[in-house]
Structure formats: structure tokens, C-alpha cells
Amino acid sequence: MPSKCVPDEHHVVRYVPWARLRKDEHDNVLGVLGAAFKLRDAETYLSATWAEFFAAGSRQACVIAAIKAIRTSQIVVRPRSGFAVGNVQRVKDTCLADKQKHKIRVIHEPQTDNSGHAALHGWPHDNDPLLELLAEDAWSETILNKDVMVSAVTITR
């Protein structure tokens, strides 16, 4: 399947481990930490899942479909983990507005275990303030894994 850009009006969903969720002192989840978007040393792009690829109807339905795709991929989704949902245009704009002017390309790159896999190329390796800003704003919508049943989700913002 040829690669193509994910449309700007669409959304990407990223798996966020428990350790990268922003919490209060009682472990109530408030959102995600900037560290949720940090590349590991060997990574050359940031991985996410294209929600609308699954064409499940409403945006919420698309997001749930993407989460289900992540659950069936090689990622081991832990009970108290979460998912961050971001609009492609807003993520790109936020990165471009940074003083380092990161130009991000969001490419649909299907993988054998996740046909909706999206790769965010041009992602910075060392720009923590930008990652914190994304976690606070453009990529802050957070869904907890435990809240995703068949039909209902609770969105924390």
C-alpha cells in the first residue's frame, strides 16, 4: 500500500504508558506529560495511529476504532495506560510555530500489526518545551484505556 499524507483535518492517536500520564498526588489522571511524545534514542519518527483511517463514522467512533487497532497491535496496552488524541493541523502548526520551526510530515505508513499506523517525520529529538506545549494544548485530549469499552469513552481535558 503506497504511503500518503494524513489529511490536516484528521486526528492521530498515540498510546501513552501509565508513567507518562500527568497525575495529581492521588494518581488521578489530568492529561499527558510532554515525555509521552519523546522519541527513544533509536526512533527516527514518532508513531501514532490515524483515527479516520478506520472510517467508523463520528470522530469519537474513529478514535475508538483506532484504540482497538492499537490494542490488537504488538503494543502491550497496560490497564492504567491512556491514549492522546491530536488534530494533525494543530500538531503541525504547534511544531512549526516553535522557534526551531519543526516541519512535521504525518505519513500513513501501515504496518503488519496496525494498518492505520501513522509516522510523524521531522519530530524533534531534543525539544522538551515543545513537547510540554503539545501535551498542554494541541495533543492534550486524553482517553484512559479503562474507559474505552464498546461504546462509551470519557475524555479528560
Partner 1 sequence: MSTIQILPPHHDAKQIGHFLVSTPTGGVGPASELIKERLKALGEPTPTFAATHRHKSQGLDEQLYDALATFKITTAAVAMHLDRDWRSKLFEQLDSLLALEDWEAADPPPSIESFSTLLRMLTSLRPERRPGLGATEDGNFIASWTTTKDDRLTIECLTGDIARWHLAVTIDDERERAAGITPVHRLAEVLQPYAPKRWFRDAEQVRAG
Residues that bind partner 1 (CB under 8 A): 17-31, 33-35, 38, 40-41, 76, 78-81, 128-129, 132-133, 136, 156-157
Please identify, using beta-carbon distances, which residue of 78 and 105 lies nearer to partner 1: 78
Please identify, using beta-carbon distances, which residue of 105 and 125 lies nearer to partner 1: 125
What is the b/e burial string over 69-101, where b = at least 16 CB atoms within 10 angstroms of the residue's CB?
Answer: bbeebebebeeebbbbbbbbebbbebbeeeeee
Q: How far is the CB of 148 from partner 1 (least distance, A)?
A: 16
Cβ atoms of 67 and 48 within 8 Å: the answer is no
Q: How far is the CB of 131 from partner 1 (least distance, A)?
A: 9
Please identify, using beta-carbon distances, which residue of 35 and 61 lies nearer to partner 1: 35
Concatenating the DSSP letter of every residue in 83-102 gives EEEEEHHHHHHHHHHSTT--
Please identify, using beta-carbon distances, which residue of 38 and 68 lies nearer to partner 1: 38
Q: How far is the CB of 23 from partner 1 (least distance, A)?
A: 4
139: cell is: 495533543
Please identify, using beta-carbon distances, which residue of 6 and 134 lies nearer to partner 1: 134
Whole-Å CA distances, 45 to 25, 30, 99, 106, 141: 32, 26, 20, 10, 21
What three-state secondary structure class fits 108?
A: strand
Q: How far is the CB of 40 from partner 1 (least distance, A)?
A: 6
Q: How far is the CB of 50 from partner 1 (least distance, A)?
A: 23
